[in-house]
Amino acid sequence: MLTYSEVMTTDFGKLSAAAEKWKSMAEEFSKVEKRYRDGVQSVTLGDSWRGESANAAFLNFAATRYEYQAAQTQAKATATLLLNAHAQFVELKERLERARADAVKAGMRVSEQGVVAFDYERATEGERDALRHDPDYAKSVRDSEQSWAEYIKSCVKAVDEADKDLQKDLEAVVKDTGGGKNDGTTGGFNGSADKVATADDQQKQERMQLASLAMRDGETLDDYLQRLQKDGVEKITGSRRLAELFAAVQKGTITASAFAAAVGGSAGGAFKLFKYLKQGKDVTAPGTFLSTFINNRMAGAVPGSLLGKVPPGMVTALTGSDEAAMLGGFMRNGSFFMPSAAEANLAKVAQNGGLANAAKAAGWIRGAGVVGGVAATAYGVANLATYDADMIKADPAKFASDLSGTAFSASMTALTVAPNPVTAGLAVGTGLVYAGCLIWDNHEAIGDGIEKAGDWVGDTASDIGDGIADGAKNLGSALNPFD
């Protein structure tokens, strides 16, 4: 693999010089081909020479001329590969140089070998004192060192991948693929070399625009998506500092939202259990309070009023059908219980009346909750699958929060599909565990982004605007999921 030092010290100008020579070679082959066509092959095209020798000569002369043409194609394709490589290497090297400059501005020192470390010599006395006495600040410095080191390493890796692709393409461009018209040799010039060059153009575009989308070793799915968000902001604005701020605020927001969801879900489940145990009221699915409220308002609507003009079918589609929910009825304490739409076990309704009736019983509001819960649970399982033993040992708190979060999503989904005391109890338990793990893993994350935002206010809004304008031109469609 190429090293940081090799990338920073290599003169890529020789690639463009070599490409010009290959272009000249193609022009010379073109001249030779025309002379061969007019002075040699033309002898077999008239009527003065006939017979078996003429037929054999015709085929051999055509094959020779094909090789001259294929040589031109191969030379042009080689020139294209070298020019593409030159442009790509120059751009990737500039990206690495910018990364180094940004790291230095951020208070880092980057050695000639690409090793990143906090620059203690440039640190203020207050920063040095904080490093000695403030564990949180010391951790933030270490995290920053690692982040910049990974960023610079990824820039070097992009050059290395481009170098390997160039080697592969240069090896492919000289291989005679055979099968072309008049191609009568094996191991001659490659008349399809232009296809290699076309493929290289596509590879270049993908590498330059999509390299940051690759999932890194030791990165969970959750980390991967958060990094893509941060990288997207950096590409749009041209400001890594703004991207770091966005990531900090976003993490704090997501953590706070997850904590609120866990606590809210546990509180809601506990309240449902309380009403069931103390008041004998049946457990309802999460999110159906709004449905019940709408149904009650509709039932009491005065004829001719605005609510009275709303089509009943629209309300039923939104809040769920009590008629369809009856298919989930069951025996309880010696009598047959007929659940409402908010109380119905959708799995039982589907078993007795099919998926269509289950969807009718759920309604749009509850149905969206089921779909969202299933998606969140599936995402959580996929994220957990990206962990290995070393990653768990390195950050057990994060693994615990991801594991308990997935369990909470699953239990809330189960409560939404089949509301009963058991699923409500599971939602309460997993919600409390998830909330506790979030506190353990992110005890300082909530509000941390706002604190960093306050430190960052010194930068002017005009600088941000200029960065957005410049960066948007270079973003490309690769980071746009709707393109």
Mean pLDDT over each residue of the chain, to the nearest integer: 77
Contact call for residues 41 and 93 (beta carbons, < 8 A) = no
Predicted confidence (pLDDT) per residue in 316-371, tens digit: 777 788 888 888 887 777 777 788 888 888 888 888 888 888 888 888 788 888 88
Residue 335 DSSP label: E
Which pLDDT tens digit goes with each residue over 224-281? 666 666 665 555 555 555 566 666 666 666 666 777 777 777 777 777 777 776 767 7
| Least confident stretch, 59-63, 299-303, 415-419, 420-424 | 299-303
Q: Three-state DSSP class for 143?
A: helix
Region 36-55 average pLDDT: 80
Domain boundaries of the chain, sorted by first residue: 4-214, 254-462
The CATH number assigned to the domain with range 4-214 reads: 1.20.1260
State the distance between the two ends of the chain, measured CA to CA, in whole angstroms.
34
Q: Give CA 78 to chain center in angstroms.
A: 34
pTM comes to 0.47
The answer to whether 362 and 347 are in contact (CB under 8 A) is no
- Please tell me which of 39-48, 349-358, 383-392 the model is most confident about, judged by mean pLDDT: 349-358
Residue 72 has pLDDT above 80, yes or no: yes
List beta partners, residue 108: 118
The answer to whether 442 touches 222, Cβ cutoff 8 Å, is no
**Helix, strand, coil shares, percent, the chain, to 5:** 75, 0, 25
Q: By C-alpha distance, which of 313, 202, 100 is closest to 92?
A: 100
pLDDT value at residue 480: 37
In 3-state terms, what secondary structure has residue 337? strand
3-state secondary structure of 467: helix
Between 217 and 324, the higher pLDDT residue: 324
CB 344 within 8 A of CB 325: yes
Region of poorest pLDDT, from 22-26, 175-179, 212-216, 258-262: 212-216
